[in-house]
């Protein structure tokens, strides 16, 4: 960490960072006006409003939010989880984030951030994932990870979770930029996935105070960090008004490349990517299409074989299935079956059957709707 930033100044920036109703570049402007975050916090609300040309209510709100946070507790709680809170002057702060207009003035990090020379690709999409989206996201994220790329996403349900899961299945790093404080996990069912991300050398990142709960307002803010860390940004699935398209818009404003996975024209979850493609986004039909957009200087160490991958479509030949997977597929048949029914039919316990059915979903053989499995139409 940068020793030119005093401990007191670092703690003051953590306090300022708690005011979420200012863009980060506006907070940086305040620091420039007053010379330090500490000096800002020495002002009363009328003086702050007058000197910074702020609305008096805004100045009062800023100070109230800043002093509602105990910065030493924020530091200690983050450290207790093995994490750090970085400011832009720190060597560990990602250069790619320093380059964006709204660089966070404090960044909470659990785990290990990718090196500045590491290729990072954002993969984002809907929470309402379809079997097609699950299959394609898992395949693309897995291929990117196997190639040596770090996949960046948001740990949300759906596409995000699928992308992180593909990386941890390979026991490789992935970066989750979350819409809560690092002291929370949202959605709660992703706790095991979050632990696995850290176990395999990845990172969980947030600009929010340590224990901040989820709020719809937080997620568009975190999307700029996902875009800022990555080049390119890939949208896998999402409706026209999906948050993934906000990430795409932010990426374009940063001068980043945006790619999209085409999907069925009658699927609402493919309307977003299809619209992006119509507007000029790059089309993703294989991992090679994504790798082509990684800057040349970041390609060192990547597996060259993946630059020639012919297609993202998984091979659905049953010859590639394990004996247990074939048994489960036969148990579902041409109708529908529940997890319990499949477990009983193949003589497996429920956790084992759930794992087998998940693999069949990823490979494109089965779809699950309302707890019932049936053969995939795609």
* For range 146-155, the mean pLDDT: 97
- More confident position, 251 or 310: 251
* For range 233-260, the mean pLDDT: 95
* Residue 23 pLDDT class (50, 70, 90 cuts): confident
Exposed, middle or buried by CB within 10 Å (0-12, 13-18, 19+), for 125? buried
CB of 247 closer than 8 Å to CB of 122: yes
pLDDT confidence of residue 314: 46
Tens of pLDDT, residues 3-17 = 778 999 999 999 999
Q: CA 6 to CA 327: how far, in whole Å?
A: 63
Task: Say if residue 21's pLDDT is above 90.
Answer: no
Tens of pLDDT, residues 103-149 = 999 999 999 999 999 999 999 999 999 999 999 999 999 999 999 99
Average pLDDT, the chain: 92
What number of helices (H) and strands (E) belong to the chain?
17, 12
Q: CA 49 to CA 58: how far, in whole Å?
A: 8
* For range 30-37, the mean pLDDT: 94
- The sign of the CA dihedral 339, 340, 345, 349 is positive
Cα angle: 366, vertex 337, 155; to 5 degrees: 50
Tell me which residue of 85, 98, 78, 87 sits closest to 229, measured CA to CA: 98
Q: What percent of the chain stands above pLDDT 90?
A: 78
5, 7, 44, 80 from 11: Cα distances, Å:
10, 6, 19, 17
* For range 210-216, the mean pLDDT: 92
* Residue 378 pLDDT class (50, 70, 90 cuts): low
Report pTM: 0.82
Task: Say if residue 313's pLDDT is above 50.
Answer: no
CATH number of the domain at 112-308, out of 1.10.246.90, 1.20.140.150, 3.50.50.60, 3.40.50.450?
Answer: 3.40.50.450
Q: CA 151 to CA 172: how far, in whole Å?
A: 10
Q: State the DSSP string of 132-162.
A: HHHHHHHHHHHHHHHHTPEEEE---TTHHHH
* Residue 295 pLDDT class (50, 70, 90 cuts): very high
CA 363 from centroid of its chain's CA atoms? 23
* For range 191-212, the mean pLDDT: 96
Cα angle: 254, vertex 279, 275; to 5 degrees: 105
Q: CA 15 to CA 312: how far, in whole Å?
A: 46
Task: Say if residue 210's pLDDT is above 50.
Answer: yes
Task: Say if residue 311's pLDDT is above 80.
Answer: no
* Residue 310 pLDDT class (50, 70, 90 cuts): low
Tens of pLDDT, residues 43-79 = 999 999 999 999 999 999 999 999 999 999 999 999 9
Own/partner pairs, 268-271, CB within 8 angstroms, 24+ separation: 268/239, 269/126, 269/128, 269/129, 269/130, 269/133, 269/237, 269/238, 269/239, 270/132, 270/237, 271/238, 271/239, 271/240
Which residues, other chains included, contact 344 with Cβ-Cβ below 8 Å and sequence gap of 6+?
none
Task: Say if residue 227's pLDDT is above 60.
Answer: yes
Q: CA 273 to CA 265: how far, in whole Å?
A: 10
Q: Which CATH class is domain 318-375?
A: mainly alpha
Task: Say if residue 376's pLDDT is above 80.
Answer: no
Task: Say if residue 316's pLDDT is above 70.
Answer: no
The half-sphere exposure of 272 on its side-chain side, counting CA atoms within 13 A, is 26
User: What are the boundaries of each domain within the chain?
Assistant: 7-110, 112-308, 318-375
Task: Say if residue 309's pLDDT is above 70.
Answer: no
CB of 170 closer than 8 Å to CB of 186: no
């Amino acid at each position: 960490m940068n020793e030119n930033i005093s401990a007191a100044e670092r703690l003051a920036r953590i306090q300022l960072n708690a005011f979420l109703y200012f863009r980060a570049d506006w907070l940086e402007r305040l620091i420039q006006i007053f010379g330090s975050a500490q000096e800002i916090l020495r002002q009363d609300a009328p003086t702050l409003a007058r000197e910074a040309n702020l609305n008096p209510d805004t100045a009062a709100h800023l100070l109230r939010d800043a002093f509602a946070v105990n910065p030493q507790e924020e530091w200690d709680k983050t450290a207790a989880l093995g994490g750090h809170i970085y400011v832009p002057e720190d060597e560990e702060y990602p250069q790619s984030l320093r380059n964006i207009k709204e660089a966070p003035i404090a960044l909470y990090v659990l785990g290990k951030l990718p090196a500045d020379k590491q290729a990072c690709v954002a993969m984002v999409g809907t929470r309402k994932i379809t079997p097609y989206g699950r299959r394609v996201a898992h395949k693309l994220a897995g291929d990117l990870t196997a190639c040596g790329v770090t996949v960046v996403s948001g740990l949300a349900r759906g596409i995000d979770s699928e992308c992180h899961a593909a990386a941890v299945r390979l026991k490789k790093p992935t970066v989750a930029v979350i819409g809560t404080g690092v002291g929370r996990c949202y959605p709660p069912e992703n706790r095991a996935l979050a632990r696995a991300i850290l176990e395999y050398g990845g990172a969980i990142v947030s600009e929010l105070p340590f224990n901040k709960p989820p709020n719809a307002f937080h997620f568009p803010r975190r999307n700029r960090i996902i875009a800022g860390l990555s080049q390119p940004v890939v949208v896998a699935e999402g409706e026209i008004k999906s948050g993934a398209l906000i990430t795409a818009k932010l990426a374009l404003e940063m001068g980043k490349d945006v790619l999209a996975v085409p999907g069925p024209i009658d699927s609402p979850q493919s309307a977003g990517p299809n619209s992006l493609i119509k507007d000029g986004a790059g089309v993703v039909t294989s991992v090679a299409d994504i790798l082509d957009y990684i800057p040349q200087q970041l390609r060192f160490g990547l597996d060259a074989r993946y630059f020639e991958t012919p297609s993202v479509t998984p091979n659905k030949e049953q010859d590639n299935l394990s004996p247990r997977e074939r048994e489960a597929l036969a148990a579902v048949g041409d109708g529908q079956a529940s997890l319990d029914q499949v477990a009983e039919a193949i003589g497996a316990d429920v956790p084992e059957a759930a794992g087998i059915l998940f693999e069949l979903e990823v490979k494109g053989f089965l779809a699950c709707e309302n707890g019932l499995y049936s053969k995939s139409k795609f």
